[in-house]
Structure 1
Amino acid sequence: MKRDLKKELNRKKIIDAAYQLMIKNGIQKTSVKEVSELSGISFVTMYKYFKSKEELAEEVALQFFKENSQELQAIAEDETLDFLLKFKKFELRSKQLRLTLTPEVNEEFMRAFSESKAVQTYAKEWNDRFWQLMIKSGRKSGVINSDVSDEAISLFANMFTEYVSTHISDPKLIPQFEKLFMYGLSGNQSNR
């Protein structure tokens, strides 16, 4: 096996093991020793790939975000769904994601997301693509019929999602913020 391929496979084994453990137990409660045992990569060798547990946790957080954002992107790209159905599916998938992690683990991942430049860069690019698709769909279906520019809506949506994902620690509040985002203070679309 070529050396580069072996390195990449070892790196993947470490990340996969850390992912399994950190999703279940949290970042703090996952030890490097546990990751080593599960991955089959020696403790000493692991440090050749990741200088610290924090660096490994950042990679896990990035992988978690990428995997889950792909599902949300697929919803936005699905042209068979109208805007409101896309938004409802988005809300449902967001709720399912929140239930995937315990509140403590969710808080640790939110902190890891907010502290990671790699996650923030990926999230910004993803958010831009996602909201462009959603705005286009909303305008096409007539749900977004405001004279507010796509750029302003996208900026507001990005600020909103960034704020909620980095500052709201009570998972019970997130669906309420999503409703505020979608319908404003009126509470529903029919009051407009």
Structure 2
Amino acid sequence: MKRDLKKELNRKLIVDAAYQLMTKKGIQKTSIKEVSELSGISFVTLYKYFKNKDELADAVALLFFKENAQGLQKIAEDDATDFLTKFQEFSLKPKQIQQNLAPDISDEFLQKVNQSAAVQAYAAEWNQQFWRSMIKAGRADGVINSDVADDVIGLFAGMFTQYVSTHVDDPKLMPQFEKLFMYGIAGKPIKK
């Protein structure tokens, strides 16, 4: 049992060191030697945990996503905040996350996050949980009053926000996308 615990601790030391370096310097500019030195794990031992730098970068990207997803989940589950405020906080979060990265590495790093199979698998599961919480809050506040099933709303919300967060850089467009998200192409709530 102690051996497994040591392996887990060593892996965590390596990923934490790589995270510090890659989120500051970038993936390409971070060397395995630097990760080895910062983690205190020998160069040779490091390769027992990660067969190459790309695999290590995937682990860092997953950690980055998980840390940021926790903040988003807290927004969704905050019972003291109404749905529209939650949605606005959520829509601002991707820019805030990007601003936490050094400007010259943010594109490289976010590309890795978007291409990582491990991140995508985790994100798919997390996305469902997040939107379940948001839809529940929206229905409770009377903002979501559609007879469309929660699963369909969640699927649409996930696809829509994924596209907007990876393709829309102009902050002036965000209010328009929020309106489109909330009311569709009708542009306003439809009264029956």
TM tier, shorter chain?
0.7 to 0.9
- What is aligned with 2:180? 184
Deviates more, 1:20-29 or 1:86-95: 86-95
Structure 1 segment 10-25 matched on structure 2, within 5 A: 10-25=10-25
Q: Percent identity?
A: 61
In the alignment, structure 2 segments of 5+ residues that lack a partner are none
- What is aligned with 2:39? 39
1:48 aligns with 2:48: yes
For residue 107 of structure 1, report the CA deviation from its aligned partner.
1.5
Deviations 1:96-129 (A, max 9, x none): 2121013442222222122221110100001111
Count residues in correspondence.
186
For residue 131 of structure 1, report the CA deviation from its aligned partner.
0.7
For residue 141 of structure 1, report the CA deviation from its aligned partner.
1.0
2-structure distance, mates of 1:176, 1:120: 28
TM score, norm. by length of structure 1:
0.86
TM score, norm. by length of structure 2:
0.86
- What is aligned with 1:98? 98
Structure 1 segment 149-160 matched on structure 2, within 5 A: 149-160=149-160
Code of the residue aligned with 1:98 in structure 2: it is Q
2-structure distance, mates of 1:49, 1:159: 34
Deviates more, 1:142-151 or 1:23-32: 142-151
- What is aligned with 2:128? 128
Deviates more, 1:93-102 or 1:75-84: 93-102
- What is aligned with 1:4? 4
For residue 176 of structure 1, report the CA deviation from its aligned partner.
5.2
Deviations 1:73-112 (A, max 9, x none): 0110111111011112223433321210134422222221
